[in-house]
Structure 1
Amino acid sequence: MQLPHAAVIALVDGKRFELFRNSGNEAGPVLAPMMSPDLDEHGKGGGAGRDSSSANPTGHQIDEDAHAAAAVGWLNKQVTARKIERLVIVAAPRTLGEMRLHYHKQLQAALVAELSKDLVGKSGPEILVALRGK
């Protein structure tokens, strides 16, 4: 996969949110860590369109869904404000599914790739290996 210069790579799991920027070029990407924002996770009423019941997740899963929604909310704002032009989202499988429910159309247009894998806490070179294998 070609990773455009200045593309932002967002790593998300149920609790953490990490950001990297490609400071290299497409032929030689170099992932530089970025500051992770403080997320507003106030909407803890479950995932998009879900009510809490015995058939639906509660407790920690609601917190993880709220975290995923908050991460996408922040990314949506950055993309619509044109602070992020190219985006790669790498998230744990269930988290990625929840995130997709909240994508803005402009975020979808900025999306270079998605990878359904938990890489939070990995180094830039490890992330690049996973992205190349996509």
Structure 2
Amino acid sequence: MHLPKNAHVALVDGENFVVMRNGGAPLEPKLDRSEKPDLSASNYSAGVKHQDDAGQALGRTDLEELAHGAAAAAWLNAKAVAGEIDDILVIADPKTLGEMRRHYHTELEKRLVGEIAKTLTGEPTKRIEQIIADA
């Protein structure tokens, strides 16, 4: 994947959110930790489509995780609208990524250079860099 120099990389799952920056070349990313935003999950509209009893009983739906994904998208939206993010790669587990997409602002969509549907929070930086380069 071609990741522009200074592009932001958002690593998201149902509980964690870390933003990194690419200090390396577009085809050889070198990620530096930029920030770990403190989110308050308040958008529980995320779970409206997941209200079935069977899904919750079997553990397939966690409203807190979905609300966290919506909060991460809201944070990214605010940064994009403010012009603080030019290029962004979003890496999130498939369920969180799907929820985040529902909340993307058009300004964020314009700045999106890619998405990777994979859980990489907690992985070593070198592994994340390699997965981005191979994508």
Higher helix share: 2
Consecutive unaligned residues in structure 1, runs of 5 or more = none
Q: Using the alignment, how far apart are the partners of 2:93 and 2:78 within structure 1?
A: 22
Which residue of 2 is the match for residue 22 of structure 1?
Answer: 22
Query: Structure 1-normalised TM-score?
Result: 0.89
Question: Relative to structure 2, which stretch is displaced further, 18-27 or 61-70?
Answer: 18-27
Alpha-carbon displacement from aligned partner over 1:71-117 (angstroms, at most 9, x marks no partner): 00000000110111000000001111111100111111100010000
Kept after mapping to 1: 8 A contact 2:29/2:132 = no
Query: Structure 2-normalised TM-score?
Result: 0.88
Which residue of 2 is the match for residue 50 of structure 1?
Answer: 49
Q: Using the alignment, how far apart are the partners of 2:94 and 2:14 within structure 1?
A: 10
Aligned residues: 133
Which residue of 2 is the match for residue 66 of structure 1?
Answer: 67
Q: Using the alignment, how far apart are the partners of 2:29 and 2:132 within structure 1?
A: 11
Which amino acid is the alignment partner of residue 52 of structure 1?
A: Q
Residues 129/27 of structure 1: CA separation in 2 closer, same or farther (3 Å cut): closer
Identity of aligned residues (%): 38
Alpha-carbon displacement from aligned partner over 1:15-61 (angstroms, at most 9, x marks no partner): 111111012232442100112111121223443x5363425548861
Within 5 Å, give how 1:1-134 maps onto structure 2. Answer: 1-47=1-47, 49-50=48-49, 52-54=51-53, 57=56, 61-134=62-135
Residues 30/65 of structure 1: CA separation in 2 closer, same or farther (3 Å cut): same
Q: Could you tell me how far 1:3 is from its partner in structure 2?
A: 1.1
Question: Relative to structure 2, which stretch is displaced further, 67-76 or 23-32?
Answer: 23-32
Q: Using the alignment, how far apart are the partners of 1:118 and 1:26 within structure 2?
A: 22
Consecutive unaligned residues in structure 2, runs of 5 or more = none
